[in-house]
Amino acid sequence: MSVALTDDTFAARAEAAPSPRPDAPSPAAIPTVVLGGLPIAVQDRGEAARLMNDWALSRRGRGLPPLYVTSANGQVLSNCATDPEIRALFAEADLIHADGTPMVVASRYVCARPLPERLATTDLVHDSAKVAEATGTRFYFLGGSPEVNRKAVANMRALYPRLVFAGARDGYFKREDEDALVAEINAAAPDILWIGFGVPLEQRFVSRNRHRLTGVGLIKTSGGLFDFLSGAKSRAPGLMQRFGLEWFYRMMLEPKRLGRRYLTTNPHAVWLLATRSR
């Protein structure tokens, strides 16, 4: 189900919105380190949010394929090391963020340049929304069930009243519907398209359709973001997050779905961080 989101003050805000910074570095200019075999951006959340907004606005109305930012955690490191298709999908991204505290900790010991902090999408979306309120950057949420998607949008609009939503769409559609979906998103012309299907479904969608999403400025893959924004799922307590145990909290909530996954990929990820980082 697609939702068109209108805003009476959008036009006025768009006209008054500041231009992206002309001196903003390109994604290729962002320093990276190799962690577990993947190139990971060395950024903090504030810089990442500002640059994502700058890059998205700089492509508004130009008819170019969008820039593409994704994230990696221990499971992704393990999957990329064992599955050539998944590794190739992540290689298509312009930038990869570290969405895992163990990656940040490991970087302090095995990399010449440590990561300043974890860039969890569940935090980054709020940083980006605060910037977007001031710049008129338009969001589009794609993914989740109809109810989860609706609540995620409603909750974000309640938190950030000046945030502009170009549209929203749940993730329940068939492959043969993608042409119509791409046309719909292009017509809405969001600056940032947040896609939450989970790995690797969201990466496959981007790979198939990125070249056609010319009405979009930037794509950010988002995993289970909308479940958290909607309140369908809760995040780990702050102390568990700080000690890199959010995965354990989620596994306790969903042991059947996540138990085997985390107990197999996490040890492999630790080995990868120790042996394939620099």
**If pLDDT is split at 50, 70 and 90, which confidence band does 249 have?**
low
**If pLDDT is split at 50, 70 and 90, which confidence band does 240 have?**
confident
Is the pLDDT reported for residue 79 higher than 90? yes
Is the pLDDT reported for residue 17 higher than 60? no
Q: Say if residue 22 is preceded by a cis peptide, omega within 30 of 0.
A: no
8 Å CB contact between 195 and 71 = no
Owner of token pair 């109809």: 146
Is the pLDDT reported for residue 205 higher than 60? yes
Is the pLDDT reported for residue 89 higher than 90? yes
Instruction: State what percent of residues in the chain have pLDDT above 70.
Output: 87
Is the pLDDT reported for residue 84 higher than 90? yes
